[in-house]
Structure 1
Amino acid sequence: MDRDDAATVFESLASGIRLDVFRLLVRQGPAGMVAGDLASALDIAPNKLSFHLKSLLHTGLATVEQEGRFQRYRPNIARVAELVTYLTAECCGGRPEACADLLTTPCCPDAPDEIDAHHDAHP
């Protein structure tokens, strides 16, 4: 990832709606969500949501897979990891290993109960 690529990712997340969509996808983890459920959960018109999903797809922050008549969107956590790596590459004077503790926090808890508790604690 380079500076321009990172800026493009940040520009995509600069929209409050796209940030909400991405955070909801991250909350769902690898299961992702179908577009209709995303629109309902966020109370967004489907055509408006489609516009924002295209931006997330374009920047690589989300992926989509056709499931019959539906499209399932998933967060691309690897893309976020690339961004974090780019942002921390010069951590502590070029010693990114000093930031290792910050980067080793798991993004998805193992137990579904932990996901629900996390979601309830952070509306």
Structure 2
Amino acid sequence: MTEVILALALGTVCAFGTFLVLRRDLVRVVWGITLLSQSANAYLITMGDIGGTVPVLAHGGHGGGAGHVTDPLVQALVLTAIVIGFGTTAFALVLTYRVYEEHGSIDLDELGDHS
């Protein structure tokens, strides 16, 4: 049941991100790309199976068990992707502000007419 709820939530976030990417406002496009990347990150975390035990405790430590181990590589990669995504989003928003200062609009149809 949890997987179904998570799949519906991620599908909704991904659909809303796609909706925002298809808008004419440049800021909404940037936020849509951000939502799409964050939904991909959440998907990767769920596929990394976060329900297991810590690898240090499960392999020969005092917790020693033949239990199910969570893969820490997925979590490290997603953490890196979140940090890079934050920097990219900040840079895209600064570029959007510069476009607004230069052209007086962030509407993509109007920007296409200026060139």
* Structure with a larger share of its residues in strand: 1
Query: Shorter chain as normaliser: what TM range?
Result: 0.3 to 0.5
TM-score under structure 1 length normalisation: 0.32
